[in-house]
Amino acid sequence: MTQKKTSDLSPQPDVAKKPCTEAARGAASVAGKRKAEDLPTLISVSPFAGWSPFKNFMVITSRGAAKVADRSPFKIHRELKSILGDETIEVTKLGRGDLTLEFKSNDQAKKLGAIATFLDIPVTVSPHKSLNSSKGVIRSRALRCCSEEEMVEKLSGVTHARRIKLRWGEDEIQTDTVVLTFDSPKLPSRIRAGYLTLDVRPYVPLPMRCYKHQRYGHGKDKCKKPAAVCVRCGKGGHVERDCSADPHCVNCRGDHAASSKTCPKFLEEQAIFSISASP
- Residue 240, sorted as left (phi over 0), alpha (psi -120 to 50) or beta, turns out to be alpha
- % the chain with pLDDT above 90: 31
Q: Does domain 57-127 have CATH number 3.30.70.330?
A: yes
Strands 134-139 and 121-127, sheet pairing: unpaired
- Give the mean pLDDT of 50-70: 78
Task: Report the SS3 class of residue 242.
Answer: helix
- Rounded distance between C-alpha atoms, residue 59 and residue 139, angstroms: 35
- % the chain with pLDDT above 70: 77
Per-range mean pLDDT, top range of 5-19, 43-57, 165-179, 258-272? 258-272
Residues 6 or more apart whose CB falls under 8 angstroms from that of 42 comprise 8, 10, 49, 192
Q: Name the residue among 73, 71, 105 with its Cα closest to residue 88.
A: 105
- Rounded distance between C-alpha atoms, residue 39 and residue 86, angstroms: 39
The pLDDT, as a whole number, for residue 278 is 58
Are 14 and 186 within 8 A, CB to CB?
yes
Q: Is the pLDDT at 94 greater than 50, yes or no?
A: yes
The pLDDT, as a whole number, for residue 277 is 60
Instruction: Give the model's confidence band at 251: pLDDT under 50 very low, under 70 low, under 90 confident, else very high.
Output: very high
pLDDT tens digit string along 122-156?
A: 999 988 888 888 889 999 999 988 999 999 998 88
- Domains in the chain: boundaries: 20-50+134-204, 57-127, 206-279
Q: Is the pLDDT at 252 greater than 90, yes or no?
A: yes
Strands 134-139 and 171-182, sheet pairing: antiparallel
- pLDDT greater at residue 5 or residue 40: 5
- Rounded distance between C-alpha atoms, residue 110 and residue 186, angstroms: 19
Task: Report the SS3 class of residue 165.
Answer: strand
Q: Is the pLDDT at 42 greater than 70, yes or no?
A: no
- Cα 232 to chain centroid distance, Å, stands at 31
- Give the mean pLDDT of 70-94: 88
- Residue 157, sorted as left (phi over 0), alpha (psi -120 to 50) or beta, turns out to be left
Are 199 and 29 within 8 A, CB to CB?
no
What's the mean pLDDT when you consider all of the chain?
Answer: 78
The pLDDT, as a whole number, for residue 275 is 67
Q: Is the pLDDT at 229 greater than 50, yes or no?
A: yes
Q: Is the pLDDT at 71 greater than 90, yes or no?
A: yes
Q: Is the pLDDT at 49 greater than 70, yes or no?
A: no
